[in-house]
Amino acid sequence: MSKRKTPSSENNTNYDFCEFLIELANYERNVNRNIYKYNAYRNAANTLAAYPTRIKSGEEAQKLKGIGAKIAKKIDEFLQTGKLQKLEKIREDDDSTAINLLTRVSGIGPAKAKELVDANIKSIEDLKKNKGKLNHHQLIGLKYFEDFEKKIPREEIKRIEDFIKTEIDELDSEYKITVCGSYRRGKAESGDIDVLITHPSYNSKDGSKKKSHLLKNVVEVLKSKKLITETISLGDVKFMKTCKNHSEGCVARRLDIRLIPQDQYYLGILYFTGSDLFNKNMRAHALEHGFTLNEYTLRVAGEPVKITSEEDIFDYIGYPYKQPSERN
Ligand code: 8DG
Ligand code: CA
Ligand code: CA
């Protein structure tokens, strides 16, 4: 999974508030491992990012959903002094800074980062001297640390999409392939490439044996064509590759390929298109109307509903259909 991201500065007049809220959110997740506070800060940031006018006081902000007295106070402090004491302290704390840095390595989560920092491993250089403490995924994350921090331009993803579709079609024209994530939402650049594939011979009721060969065959082809150069994990239908970026030479990119059973394909597409927050809101709406919605099923009264398109899902739960580009 890529690290959750900041609301962008495009059309956001409250961008500076969002920035400090996200920094606080990341601190809560990475250093304190407090997901509750992490979500609270993120929700506040998302609310402010969507708010059309510039916030002028904490009091004004507190009227909005997800912003309580504590965050309102921080907004006032920021408006008055241009900074936050709490953040200044966090930034001065070496261990917090180190934990935040290490969690930027793909495969290193907050708990692992803490463990490393406790062992006095606090920088990328330190990691390179302590490879024995890292697993396969983390080693790849370290090897490509700089590359993985670079965003992938839309045109590059488009080229990779065409390439993958052509190669897989040659392998077996019955595969269906959709590139989801921020790319499907129309973003100009993405953190990674999220590819969903399905095949008519694979249903959720089937065992996992069939699944593994359907995915393996795809990976083998993409490996032989040098698109995939390294694999993080195969068992977990999740791995990565590197590819050539023609303009900049060779940059490693993360590629998530997931094989989804045919009967769950549209639920998978909906989920992996996101955004994260859009999914959360849609799931909450589903729950309020007696449905359970996740990446695998839509159920009403415990019974799965048959889905044949993305629109079906919106229809069933009575949620207004949104184009992928409207799900940001
Ligand atoms: P990016 O890669 O450009 O940074 O953005 P993204 O494509 O939106 O994010 P992603 O991390 O690649 O995840 C793809 C989609 O998966 C995301 O848009 C929505 C869905 N998703 C959730 N929750 C989570 C989560 O906690 N982790 C991950 N990896 N994906 C999630 O709804
Ligand atoms: Ca993505
Ligand atoms: Ca991803």
Residues with CB under 5 A from ligand 3 (ion): 192, 194, 256
Q: Is 190 helix (H, G, I), strand (E, B) or coil?
A: strand
| CA 47 to centroid of ligand 3, rounded, Å | 24
Cα separation, 65 vs 200, whole angstroms: 44
- Residue 6 in this model has a pLDDT that exceeds 70: no
CA 271 to ligand 1: nearest atom? 20
* Cβ-Cβ contacts under 8 Å for 290 (sequence gap 6 or more): 300, 301
| CA 189 to centroid of ligand 3, rounded, Å | 13
- Residue 284 in this model has a pLDDT that exceeds 90: yes
**Predicted confidence (pLDDT) per residue in 79-126, tens digit:** 999 999 999 999 999 999 999 999 999 999 999 999 999 999 999 999
Cα separation, 291 vs 307, whole angstroms: 14
Nearest to 36 by CA among 46, 28, 48, 44: 28
For the residues 48-67, what does the mean pLDDT come to? 94
The answer to whether the beta carbons of residues 1 and 148 sit under 8 Å apart is: no
- Residue 236 in this model has a pLDDT that exceeds 50: no
Name the active-site residue from 3, 37, 74, 241. Answer: 74
- Nearest ligand for residue 3 CA: 1
Strands 193-198 and 255-259: parallel
Over the Cα atoms of the chain, what is R_g?
A: 22
Q: In the chain, what are the domains?
A: 1-92 (1.10.150.110), 101-149 (1.10.150.20), 161-264 (3.30.460.10), 268-326 (3.30.210.10)
Strands 249-253 and 193-198: unpaired
Of 230 and 18, more confident: 18
- Residue 211 in this model has a pLDDT that exceeds 80: no
- Residue 235 in this model has a pLDDT that exceeds 60: no
DSSP secondary structure letters along 267-279: HHHHHHH--HHHH
Nearest to 269 by CA among 302, 308, 316: 308
- Residue 272, ligand 1, Cβ within 6 A: yes
Mean pLDDT, all residues of the chain: 90
- Residue 328, ligand 1, Cβ within 6 A: no
- Residue 172 in this model has a pLDDT that exceeds 70: yes
Question: What does the pLDDT read at residue 240?
Answer: 54
DSSP state of 188: S
Q: Residue 245: enclosing H or E segment and its boundaries?
A: strand 241-245
Going by alpha carbons, the residue nearest to atom 20 of ligand 1 is: 272
Q: Which of 92-106, 207-221, 242-256, 272-286 has the lowest mean pLDDT?
A: 242-256
Cα separation, 203 vs 291, whole angstroms: 22
Question: What does the pLDDT read at residue 251?
Answer: 87
**Token pair for 274:** 């996101």
Ligand 1 pocket test target in 8, 254, 272 with most atoms within 8 Å of CB: 272
In sequence order, the β-bridge partners of residue 194 are 256
**Predicted confidence (pLDDT) per residue in 142-161, tens digit:** 999 999 999 999 999 999 99
Nearest to 40 by CA among 26, 59, 51: 26
- Residue 2, ligand 1, Cβ within 6 A: yes
Going by alpha carbons, the residue nearest to atom 29 of ligand 1 is: 1
Cα separation, 44 vs 242, whole angstroms: 36
| CA 275 to centroid of ligand 1, rounded, Å | 7
**pTM over 0.75, yes/no:** yes
Environment class of residue 93 by beta-carbon count within 10 Å: exposed (0-12), middle (13-18) or buried (19+)? Answer: middle
Known active-site residue 74: yes
Question: What does the pLDDT read at residue 152?
Answer: 94
